[in-house]
Amino acid sequence: MKRIRNFSIIAHIDHGKSTLSDRLIQATHIVSERDFKDQILDSMDIERERGITIKSQTVCLPFVAKDGQTYFLNLIDTPGHVDFTYEVSRALSSCEGALLIIDASQGVEAQTLANLYLAMEHNLEIIPVINKIDLPSADVDRVKLQIEEDLGLDPEAAILISAKEGIGIEKVLEALVNRMPPPSGDPEAPLQALIFDSHYDSFRGTIIYLRIYQGTVKPGDLIMFMSNKAVYKVEEVGIFQIIRVPRKELSAGEVGYIIAGIKTVSDTRCGDTITLKNRPCDAPVPGFVEAKPVVFSSIYPVASDGYEELAISLEKLKLNDASLIYEKDFSAALGFGFRCGFLGLLHLEVIQERLEREYDLSLILTAPSVQYQVIMNDDSILTIDNPALYPDPVMIQSTKEPFIRASIIIPDRYMGAAMKLCLDRRGINKNYQYLTSNRLEMIFELPLAEVVFDFYDKLKSVTQGYGSFDYEIIDYRETDIVKLDILINGERVDALSQLVHRDRAVDRARHACEKLKEEIPRQMFKIAIQGAIGAKIIARSTISPFRKDVTAKCYGGDITRKRKLLEKQKKGKKRMKMVGKVMIPQSAFLSVLKTDTD
């Protein structure tokens, strides 16, 4: 155990976390050069394509230090986006220390701070690492000053590296050995292991990722989940070295996996503690907080018979993503589906993409909503996140919406642009302070509903990529919410309804009408699209009918082409929903969610 180190790498997005992970993996030779690919820990397609880390991964790196001993360095990779703070928290609770990476030219950013605070909450040993020192724009002295002033860490402890060029990687490995504490815990004590992740393997059942705090587990043991007392027999234990490597046993301080033939997906809960049935520990591992979803949306299968499949897929995905919550839902337009809670809009997109790619489903999502508190005339309070359940306005005394406290760090030349963005989103400026001579931290209080749509993208764009952002929910405040309905040829489409602030309703309605006009195919009759609050129409658009729709020429060479078009249309129709006589494609539902007009 003295030769084990459990650590995470935490950083603001794009500061080089995945590149450093790659170099550490290469330096310890667990993967041959031939099999190596960049961002090796980001195994999901979505992660590679978007260049982000979504899921935590672990890898065990054997390292021969200068003292001649072989150390086992367990790297627990974490996501960087603000939506996935929860994943970071789960990973950190399995570690004794963390490498905090700071980009030598960008300096300390909002998530650098947020992740540092998280790490400190878990009492981790923190080693600052200044990355990208090879860049011409690198300013190491300035970053050291920020480390001292903004982070309150010892700047002289910082390791200077360039992960891209492979500079300083040995120093990082030595620092892990010498400066990070080894785990503690008695391998002879009753088993106490924390589940920090899991995923479903079609051949082996659930693979549980766990950190052993005390005791030992080996194949043949009968394990018990402390939350529900479910008992399974261990088939295999092991560690991760990109692939799963079986071991005879796992004991205190180690990070690895267990396979126990678990088919019941719901039995495995991240944050649960595993112990031995015959010799249980006294108490579960403490201090593991459930993620709280902040954005809600309903998911429906496009195919009318796709509900069962969606249910099974969600259950499996939930195993790999404990932060996802869902319950059954019904829409008059779309049939049976699920109301889901997400950590943020990126999380929502990721879940949608994973369901579509990994489970081959075709989905329709409804407009994301936050959770509103509706105070009724009889003083009862309803929590509403689904427009379909929004009560009749005459029954409502008042409505409250969640507010966040946002920390926005920007170079001061973007102050005007960022300020305008926040004020446009109904933000209240609480404070601002200079972190260094030209870097500014602005504190804004903003309605969460204004942030979940595309605030982060907009902030990035108005600050040319330099702005960073982190937030926490602070309280609920009185607001003026209306339910915006969309009518197609006079018929209300419940799946397109959204709850919006009254001041924003006209803009949103216009946006929805325009988007739907672009996405709904023309028909032989006129299609009227209207946005309405109650009986009042506040926006409209019209899709003019076909006045002709005929291919003039069709001879030998044209027949195949024409048939293929008809086949494509037939296939496309499977991705459409009928509302009255109008066919609405899946893309139309999704286009309404994107706000690119303001």
Partner 1 sequence: MSRENIETNHFFQPAGLYVHIPFCIRKCPYCDFFSITDRSTIPGFMEALIQEMSMTGVFPFRFDSLYIGGGTPSVLEANQVGRVVETAHRSYRILPGAEITLEANPGTLRFDKLTGFKSAGINRLNIGVQSFRDAHLNFLGRIHTGRDADTAIKDARKAGFDNLGLDLIYGIPGQTKKSWLLDLQQAVDYAPEHLSCYMLTYEFGTPMERGLRKGFFQALPESLAGDLFEATSAFLCSRGYQHYEISNFARSTDFRSRHNMKYWAGVPYIGLGPSAHSFTGMKRSWNCRSVSQYTENLNAGRLPVAGEEVLSRDQEMIEAVYLGLRKADGIAAEAFEKKFGVSFHGLFGEVIADLRKKRMMNATKTRCALTCRGMRFLDGIASRFVQRME
The CB-of-559 to partner 1 minimum distance in angstroms stands at 6
The CB-of-571 to partner 1 minimum distance in angstroms stands at 10
The residues binding partner 1 (CB under 8 A) are 523-524, 546-557, 559-560, 562-563, 566-567, 569-570, 573
Q: 399: which DSSP letter?
A: E
Residues near 446 by beta carbon (within 8 Å), at least 6 away in sequence: 403, 404, 406, 422, 425, 426, 427, 428, 455, 471
C-alpha distances (whole Å) from 364 to each of 143, 207, 469 are: 45, 30, 29
The CB-of-577 to partner 1 minimum distance in angstroms stands at 14
The CB-of-573 to partner 1 minimum distance in angstroms stands at 6
The CB-of-309 to partner 1 minimum distance in angstroms stands at 21
The CB-of-567 to partner 1 minimum distance in angstroms stands at 7
The CB-of-523 to partner 1 minimum distance in angstroms stands at 8
Q: Pick between residue 64 and residue 559 the one whose CB is nearest to partner 1.
A: 559
| Order of all β-strands in the sheet with 335-342 | 325-331, 335-342, 295-301, 363-365
First-to-last C-alpha distance (Å) of the chain? 56
Residues facing 469 on adjacent strands: 408
Q: Pick between residue 170 and residue 519 the one whose CB is nearest to partner 1.
A: 519
Q: Pick between residue 66 and residue 563 the one whose CB is nearest to partner 1.
A: 563
The CB-of-245 to partner 1 minimum distance in angstroms stands at 48
Q: Pick between residue 171 and residue 574 the one whose CB is nearest to partner 1.
A: 574
The CB-of-564 to partner 1 minimum distance in angstroms stands at 9
Q: Pick between residue 304 and residue 461 the one whose CB is nearest to partner 1.
A: 304
Q: Pick between residue 395 and residue 559 the one whose CB is nearest to partner 1.
A: 559
Q: What tokens were used for 382?
A: 């309803």
Q: What tokens were used for 596?
A: 């690119």
**Cβ–Cβ < 8 Å for 250, 175:** no
**Cβ–Cβ < 8 Å for 174, 65:** yes
Strands 439-447 vs 491-492: parallel, antiparallel or unpaired: unpaired
Q: Pick between residue 261 and residue 580 the one whose CB is nearest to partner 1.
A: 580
Q: Pick between residue 434 and residue 546 the one whose CB is nearest to partner 1.
A: 546
The CB-of-565 to partner 1 minimum distance in angstroms stands at 8
Q: What tokens were used for 128?
A: 């600052």
Strands (E), 412-561: 428-436, 439-447, 468-479, 481-488, 491-492, 498-501, 527-533, 536-543
The CB-of-487 to partner 1 minimum distance in angstroms stands at 24
Strands 250-251 vs 243-247: parallel, antiparallel or unpaired: unpaired
Q: Pick between residue 137 and residue 560 the one whose CB is nearest to partner 1.
A: 560
Q: What tokens were used for 298?
A: 């309903």
Task: Return the HEC string of 483-521.
Answer: EEEEEECCEECHHHCEEEEHHHHHHHHHHHHHHHHHHCC
Q: Pick between residue 203 and residue 555 the one whose CB is nearest to partner 1.
A: 555
**Cβ–Cβ < 8 Å for 392, 533:** no
Element (H, E) at 210: strand 205-214
**Cβ–Cβ < 8 Å for 384, 479:** no
17/3 Cα distance (integer angstroms)? 24
Element (H, E) at 351: helix 345-358
Residues facing 4 on adjacent strands: 72
Closest Cα to residue 472, out of 151, 120, 110? Answer: 110
Most distant CA pair in the chain: distance in Å?
83
C-alpha distances (whole Å) from 397 to each of 71, 375, 467, 480, 529 are: 63, 6, 39, 11, 31
Q: Pick between residue 502 and residue 562 the one whose CB is nearest to partner 1.
A: 562
The CB-of-550 to partner 1 minimum distance in angstroms stands at 4
Q: Pick between residue 524 and residue 535 the one whose CB is nearest to partner 1.
A: 524
Closest Cα to residue 536, out of 480, 487, 598? Answer: 487
The CB-of-518 to partner 1 minimum distance in angstroms stands at 17
363/285 Cα distance (integer angstroms)? 38
